[in-house]
């Protein structure tokens, strides 16, 4: 049994934000010195409180678990509608191989489908747009399990989320060095979504800094990053040089690692930032 369209829409549009997309859709008139954007490899890696203390800047971490470049593109379009950004520090790695949207569009954005930017993004990326837009029961029936009745209830009673969207840092604890994974063996010629992000930043005078977050020694085919460096000459490559004890798993730093990385990232980009 699914919660009705009206109830879902009311909950997510009229309660305190529990996820980053919901936060972006509610925030306005903010002037961010730095926005960190990407997947969990941003959310788990950049401690904004620590970065703020080092830089004396106003920052926010909008990294989202499992987000693709396309999802990040939607975040950016929504954020700049009512806010100003000086610097965008943007994670690019194997997500360079993806152009599609993920559940952020099909689930998190659904309650806001009447928003013109969300509507256009969903229409351009999901083949079932007409059903999503015109059939309320349909869009919640196929996305309700992703949005979660539990999360909806917590939103309704204004229970604070585990990760404060205004800060965005989501630390990992522990160390599981035996886990392994592999980066792609081949690299695409280009990524049109990344091109769109670059062009949008130019249009709005946003200083764009692309970077690769660290991988542990258990990540195979790390040579993919060398290929990516050739595609993106200005890419800040921080993929190597971190001890395995600083990792939660092959692709995510633990809290101790995030502290080291955040400090290193500040040193690497402080002279590249627009003041």
The model's pLDDT over 203-231, given as tens digits with 9 standing for 90+, comes to 999 999 999 999 999 999 999 999 999 99
**Would you say residue 25 has pLDDT above 90?**
no
Question: How many domains does the chain contain in total?
Answer: 1
Question: In Å, how far are 140, 141, 144, 239 from 234, measured between CA atoms?
Answer: 42, 44, 41, 14
> For 97-122, what is the mean pLDDT?
86
265: CATH: 3.40.50.1110
For residue 274, being part of any structural domain is answered with no
- According to DSSP, residue 100 is labeled S
Scanning the structure block, which residue is given the tokens 């309320």?
136
Confidence of residue 156 (pLDDT cuts 50, 70, 90): very low
Confidence of residue 3 (pLDDT cuts 50, 70, 90): very low
Among 105, 172, 187, 171, residue whose Cα is nearest residue 142 = 105
Whole-model pTM? 0.88
> Which residues are CB-contacts of 117 (< 8 A; sequence separation ≥ 6)?
74, 77, 78, 81
For residue 275, being part of any structural domain is answered with no
Among 217, 205, 151, 208, residue whose Cα is nearest residue 180 = 217
Among 211, 238, 240, residue whose Cα is nearest residue 96 = 211
For residue 41, being part of any structural domain is answered with yes
For residue 69, being part of any structural domain is answered with yes
pLDDT tens profile 159-184 = 455 667 678 899 999 998 678 899 99
- Measured distance CA(51)–CA(131) in Å, rounded: 43
pLDDT tens profile 28-57 = 999 999 999 999 999 999 999 999 999 999
Question: In Å, how far are 74, 109, 182 from 29, measured between CA atoms?
Answer: 18, 21, 42
Identify whether the C-beta of residue 211 lies closer than 8 Å to the C-beta of residue 236. Answer: yes
Across the chain, mean pLDDT equals 87
For residue 179, being part of any structural domain is answered with yes
The domain of 242 spans 5-269
For residue 78, being part of any structural domain is answered with yes
- Measured distance CA(154)–CA(250) in Å, rounded: 32
């Amino acid at each position: 049994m699914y919660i009705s369209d009206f109830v879902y829409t009311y909950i997510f549009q009229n309660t305190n934000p529990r996820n980053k997309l919901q936060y972006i859709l509610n925030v306005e008139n903010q002037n961010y010195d730095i926005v960190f954007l990407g997947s969990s490899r941003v959310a788990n890696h950049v401690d904004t409180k620590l970065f703020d203390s080092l830089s004396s800047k106003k920052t926010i971490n909008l990294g989202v678990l499992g987000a693709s470049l396309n999802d990040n593109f939607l975040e950016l379009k929504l954020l700049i509608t009512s806010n100003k950004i000086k610097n965008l520090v943007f994670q690019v790695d194997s997500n360079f191989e993806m152009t599609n949207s993920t559940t952020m569009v099909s689930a998190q954005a659904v309650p806001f489908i009447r928003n013109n930017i969300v509507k256009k993004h969903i229409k351009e990326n999901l083949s079932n747009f007409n059903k999503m837009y015109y059939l309320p029961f349909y869009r919640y029936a196929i996305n309700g399990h992703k949005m979660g009745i539990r999360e909806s209830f917590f939103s309704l009673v204004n229970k604070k989320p585990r990760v404060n969207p205004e800060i965005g840092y989501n630390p990992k604890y522990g160390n599981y060095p035996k886990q392994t994974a592999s980066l792609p063996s081949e690299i695409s010629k280009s990524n049109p979504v990344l091109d769109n992000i670059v062009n949008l930043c130019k249009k709005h005078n946003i200083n764009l800094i692309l970077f690769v977050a660290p991988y542990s020694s258990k990540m195979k085919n790390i040579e993919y990053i060398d290929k990516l460096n050739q595609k993106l000459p200005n890419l800040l490559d921080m993929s190597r040089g971190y001890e395995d004890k600083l990792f939660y798993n092959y692709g995510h730093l633990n809290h101790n690692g995030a502290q080291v990385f955040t400090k290193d990232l500040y040193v690497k980009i402080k002279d590249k930032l627009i003041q």
